Chain A
Amino acid sequence: GAGVSQSPSNKVTEKGKDVELRCDPISGHTALYWYRQSLGQGLEFLIYFQGNSAPDKSGLPSDRFSAERTGGSVSTLTIQRTQQEDSAVYLCASSMRGGAVTQYFGPGTRLLVL
Chain B
Amino acid sequence: TQLLEQSPQFLSIQEGENLTVYCNSSSVFSSLQWYRQEPGEGPVLLVTVVTGGEVKKLKRLTFQFGDARKDSSLHITAAQPGDTGLYLCAGMGIGGNQFYFGTGTSLTVIP
Contact = CB atoms under 8 A, between A and B. Distances in A.
A45 B92 CA distance: 12
Interface residues of A, number: 25
Contacts of A4: 42
A98 B106 CA distance: 28
A107 B98 contact: no
15 contacts: A40-B86, A40-B106, A41-B104, A42-B103, A45-B98, A50-B97, A93-B42, A98-B97, A99-B92, A99-B97, A100-B30, A100-B31, A102-B45, A105-B44, A106-B42
B100 A45 contact: yes
A80 to B, nearest CB: 24
A43 B45 contact: no
A43 B43 contact: yes
Contacts of B33: 100
A-B complex: 7 closest residue pairs judged by Cβ atoms: A105-B42, A100-B31, A43-B101, A42-B101, A42-B104, A42-B103, A98-B97
Nearest to A58: B98
A35 interface: yes
A43 B44 contact: no
Contacts of B6: 42
A13 B28 CA distance: 40
Contacts of A105: 41-44
Given A40-B106, A102-B48, 12 more contacts: A35-B101, A40-B86, A41-B103, A43-B90, A56-B98, A59-B98, A91-B42, A99-B92, A100-B30, A102-B45, A103-B99, A108-B41
Interface of A: 4, 33, 35, 40-45, 48, 50, 56, 59, 91, 93, 98-103, 105-108
A83 B72 CA distance: 36
Nearest to B48: A100
Most buried by A among B33, B45, B50: B45
Interface in B30-67: 30-31, 33, 40-45, 48, 50
